[in-house]
Amino acid sequence: MRKIKNLEYSDGKILLLDQTRLPLREEYIVTDDYERIAEAIEKLEIRGAPAIGLAAAFACALSLRNIEQNHESEFRKAVERLRKTRPTAVNLFWALDRMENKFRKCTEIENVYESLIEEAEQIFEEDRQMCERIAGNGLQLFSKVSRVLTHCNTGALVSGGGGTAFYIIQKAFESGLVDHVYADETRPLLQGSRLTAYELDKSGIPFSIITDSSAAFVMKYVGIDLIVVGADRIALNGDTANKIGTYNLAVLAKYHNVPFYIAAPSSTIDKNCFNGNSIDIEFRSGDEIRTINGHLVTRPDFNAYSPAFDITPNELISGIITEENLFKPPYKF
């Protein structure tokens, strides 16, 4: 298995694997420009809730790399730009808040950049460790060799480590507990068929890509033992925002008596959000529905409705796995 290098900081620059090119090409973005990192987040060249938080943390630091004065002005400008990139994943705002707190504590102006880089690297290392603990806690889900279904993408491409839901699946496979994985293609941007399949292939895990609309058929006629997906924001009552189509999957799982789990770091829990009604849902361009890989599949003038996320009510969730524990309902974080 070849390790996936998703995000790396070295010699004053950040390296990002361009996920819009996967799985057909592995191309990297190398930059020290926070504006370019902000664009990469907006364009989904870097994506996944933990990963965009990590990228934003390094972008905050890099905003001061070649600045000798007006540190406050430049830093604030960068933070505000990054806050406007994507609204739903709370990890982005958690990371930016942490970088702002670090900036306020920097008293020696000449060391501000180095201090911020150290903080970003600390966030990166903490995320890596959280991935390990999430995977360890997630092994509790498996009591036998299982067929697993997952949605969107939750592996090394979304984090500083092995990922969240995908990493649970990977560790379970390595322990002989996973027989086969069914990966929803995850329309409209195909994070499942492009990215999760890419990671499954690199991990040597037997898998099949399915259309999102095939999930009920697979549950009924193939048999799924459990479903595990990631999250972009979790409310205090357990309501969870994740990639569009997750809510559909949870409803189907309830009907077919398939356990449905969420895996995410505790930084994805929004302590200021009491329930899913408070979560801001990002809407994307209708061109993401009208086109596939830049090619029109319907008329360009047809209207399209394109929410990027949906909210799964807590009563449909069998458990939420974080680096701290496997939580069962009722959820009280």
Query: What are the angstrom distances between the C-alpha of 265 and each of 147, 155, 161?
Result: 24, 13, 12
Residue from 232, 239, 270, 310 carrying the catalytic annotation: 232
What DSSP designation does 110 have? G
Four-way CATH pick for 133-327: 3.40.50.300, 1.10.287.1770, 3.40.50.10470, 2.60.40.1120:
3.40.50.10470
Question: Is 232 a known active-site residue?
Answer: yes
Please state which CATH class domain 7-131 belongs to: mainly alpha
CA angle 180, 254, 228 (to 5 degrees): 40
**pLDDT tens by residue, 140-182:** 999 999 999 999 999 999 999 999 999 999 999 999 999 999 9
Residue 1 pLDDT grade (very low, low, confident, very high; cuts 50, 70, 90):
very low
Sign of the torsion formed by the C-alpha atoms of 264, 270, 275 and 276: negative
- Largest distance between two CA atoms of the chain: 65
Identity at 117, one-letter amino acid code:
I
Given a cut of 80, whether residue 193 has pLDDT beyond it is yes
Q: How far apart are CA 176 and CA 173, in angstroms?
A: 5
The residues spanned by each domain of the chain are: 7-131, 133-327
pTM above 0.85, yes or no: yes
Residue 304 pLDDT grade (very low, low, confident, very high; cuts 50, 70, 90):
very high
**pLDDT tens by residue, 201-255:** 999 999 999 999 999 999 999 999 999 999 999 999 999 999 999 999 999 999 9
Provide the pLDDT for residue 109: 58
